[in-house]
Amino acid sequence: MPNPQQKAGLFQFYPHNLLWVGLSIVAIVLDQWTKWIASTHLNYADPVPVLPFLNWTLLHNYGAAFSFLSDAGGWQRYFFTSLAALVSVIFVFWLMRMPKHITILPMAIALILGGAVGNLIDRVTLGYVVDFIHVYYNNSHFPAFNLADSAITLGTILLLIDTFFLEKHRIQRADMQHHE
Instruction: Provide the annotated active-site residues.
Output: 131, 149
Are 125 and 36 a contacting pair, CB within 8 Å? no
CA distance 33 to 101: 32
Q: In angstroms, rounded to a whole number, what is the distance separating the alpha carbons of residues 153 and 179?
A: 38
CA dihedral 7, 11, 16, 19 (to 10 degrees): 170
Whole-angstrom Cα distance, residue 141 to residue 149?
16
* Strand blocks (E) in the chain: 48-51, 54-61, 129-137, 140-141
Task: Give the DSSP letter string of 129-157.
Answer: EEEEEEEEETTEEPPPB-HHHHHHHHHHH
> Is the separation of the CB atoms in 110 and 23 below 8 Å?
yes
Which amino acid is located at 156 in the chain? Answer: T
